[in-house]
Amino acid sequence: MSTEGKPITSLAAVAYEAGKPLTVEEIIVDPPKAHEVRIRIKKTAVCHTDAYTLSGADPEGAFPSILGHEGAGVVESVGEDVTSVKPGDHVVALYTAECGKCKFCKSGKTNLCGSVRATQGKGVMPDGTSRFKNKKGETLLHFMGCSTFSEYTVVADVSVVAIDPKAPLESACLLGCGVTTGYGAAVKSANVQKGDTVAIFGAGTVGLSVAQGAQARGASKIILVDINDAKKKYMHEFGATDFVNPTKDLQNGQTIVEKLIEMTDGGLDFTFDCTGNVKVMRDALEACHKGWGVSVVIGVAASGQEISTRPFQLVTGRVWKGSAFGGIKGRSEMGGLIKDYREGSLKVDEFITNRRAFKEINDAFEDLHAGDSLRTVLDYTN
Ligand code: NAD
Ligand code: AHE
Ligand code: ZN
């Protein structure tokens, strides 16, 4: 029996309160309105940003909500005037929309799209309402325009891209955030060139994806900096040449900035923060080479945190910039990433260190903080 146009009962994980585990329960998902798409999510993974918002540190974090933004699935139905995807299409949800028509999209200067960002940040669809409620009838908010922690979710048509159905959905879901963010930050936002030296603070999925992007560009030195030694084992797989643990590998009062400058004859061409720690962001900037070094902030810092450095660091030629979703335009460029993955030039499967049934989602949040884990992919079918 067709579910088109009808509310659907869906397994979901509800974030009722900051700092509390998610509640796995059935919710009601309304049909998509005009320019909306209802997706049956097959695979979703937990990104550090989901944990950040659940912790209560996100100024845009609102509760109760359905978190999750790394997800892939199959279109169940579409609302009026949707022309870009159709029922049955394999898709990836996009937290960075691409409308192609707004000032941002038309600028050619950024992947940030203005079409749905304001309502997305308030946890509602573009018409200002939610498609989710619990069985008590209480409204549940959307998150990052994706809410992939519900088996059925509704997104704006500008927030979804159809992909090659031959690509496994468990791999495609990681292209919805972590892998694309890091890889794109290296090859697009920073535009690393052959021979460049690179240091990456934070060797999680995002940082290791920066490493593979830097390697793809022929960087001469790719230094991973992480306080967790368990991440060292990934360095060669993703193209890094060195690993430094600042809690163990510094001698005689040397700072991590001094160590990196010593290792690179004056500093790095590019550094990347993939930790969200504002002190680390400062180190990353100050480890850049005088005159031309560029530091890219990718990590997301808690509400109230600010970055600082001596202005002299910038006066003397270092550049501080940021990157969201790796500078990638999801609807135009996802196809290319999927192709690279299928042809073997982009590693994705290697980031899947854990697989779990969706109902174990709270354990997946624990995995994120555990030793050598990168991504846990959750499966709705078991
Ligand atoms: P993760 O938790 O898997 O990895 C973070 C890594 O940083 C861990 O290996 C941890 O040991 C390391 N780390 C923590 N503190 C450190 C320190 N002081 N010095 C060195 N290393 C340290 O996270 P992830 O999913 O890879 O995400 C990384 C960051 O990027 C998070 O802040 C996340 O919110 C953010 N993020 C941003 C975007 C974007 O578009 N800008 C997209 C995805 C994720
Ligand atoms: N609500 C947060 C925003 C945090 C943030 O910077 N998010 C990243 C994506 S993290 C994905 O894991 C991003 O792309 N930002 C651009 C945007 O438009 O949100 C806060 O701290 O306010
Ligand atoms: Zn993410």
CB of 274 shorter than 6 A to ligand 1: yes
CB of 181 shorter than 6 A to ligand 1: yes
Instruction: State the Cα–Cα distance between residues 349 and 242, nearest whole angstrom.
Output: 23
- Per-residue pLDDT at 286 exceeds 90: yes
Compute the half-sphere exposure of residue 232: CA atoms within 13 Å on the CB side of its CA.
11
What's the farthest any 2 CA atoms get from each other in the chain?
71
CB of 342 shorter than 6 A to ligand 2: no
Q: Is the peptide bond before 64 cis (omega within 30 degrees of 0)?
A: yes
The residue ranges of every structural domain in the chain are 8-176+347-379, 182-323
pLDDT band at 316 (very low <50, low <70, confident <90, very high): very high
- The pTM of this model reads 0.98
pLDDT of residue 370: 80
Instruction: State the Cα–Cα distance between residues 223 and 238, nearest whole angstrom.
Output: 11
Cα angle: 109, vertex 187, 277; to 5 degrees: 90
The per-residue pLDDT for range 154-172, each reduced to its tens digit, is: 999 999 999 999 999 999 9
Comparing CA positions, the residue from 124, 145, 112 lying closest to residue 39 is 145
The per-residue pLDDT for range 96-127, each reduced to its tens digit, is: 999 999 999 999 999 999 999 999 999 999 99
User: Which ligand is located closest to the Cα atom of residue 278?
Assistant: 1
The per-residue pLDDT for range 176-215, each reduced to its tens digit, is: 999 999 999 999 999 999 999 999 999 999 999 999 999 9
The residue nearest atom 28 of ligand 1, judged by CA position, is 274
> Which of the residues are catalytic?
47-49, 69-70, 99, 102, 105, 113, 117, 177, 375
Instruction: State the Cα–Cα distance between residues 144 and 373, nearest whole angstrom.
Output: 24
Q: What CATH architecture applies to the domain 8-176+347-379?
A: Alpha-Beta Complex (3.90)
210 and 188 Cβ atoms separated by less than 8 Å: no
* Better-predicted residue by pLDDT, 134 or 252: 134
- Per-residue pLDDT at 234 exceeds 80: yes
Instruction: State the Cα–Cα distance between residues 246 and 232, nearest whole angstrom.
Output: 13
pLDDT band at 20 (very low <50, low <70, confident <90, very high): very high
Distance 206 CA to ligand 1 centre (A): 7
pLDDT of residue 1: 76
The CATH number, out of the four listed (3.30.420.40, 3.40.50.300, 2.40.30.10, 3.40.50.720), of the domain defined by the range 182-323: 3.40.50.720
Mean pLDDT within 231-251: 97
Query: Does residue 180 sit in helix, strand or coil?
Result: helix
CB of 203 shorter than 6 A to ligand 1: yes
The residue whose two tokens read 């499966």 is 379
- Per-residue pLDDT at 382 exceeds 80: no
Mean pLDDT within 63-70: 98
Q: How many angstroms from the chain centroid is the CA of residue 256?
A: 26
- Per-residue pLDDT at 369 exceeds 90: no
* H or E segment to which residue 260 belongs: helix 256-263
pLDDT of residue 197: 98
pLDDT of residue 138: 98
Question: Ligand 2 pocket: which of 119, 148, 300 to mutate (most atoms <8 Å of CB)?
Answer: 300
Residue 356: Cβ within 10 Å count: 17
Q: Which residues pair with 320 in a beta bridge?
A: 295
Question: Ligand 1 pocket: which of 53, 231, 274 to mutate (most atoms <8 Å of CB)?
Answer: 274
The per-residue pLDDT for range 120-156, each reduced to its tens digit, is: 999 999 999 999 999 999 999 999 999 999 999 999 9
CB of 179 shorter than 6 A to ligand 2: no
The residue nearest atom 9 of ligand 2, judged by CA position, is 324
> Cα Rg for the chain, rounded, in angstroms?
21
Take residue 26 and report the two structure tokens written for it: 């059935």
pLDDT band at 351 (very low <50, low <70, confident <90, very high): very high
Q: For residue 57, give the ligand 2 atom closest to its CA.
A: 21
Compute the half-sphere exposure of residue 209: CA atoms within 13 Å on the CB side of its CA.
29
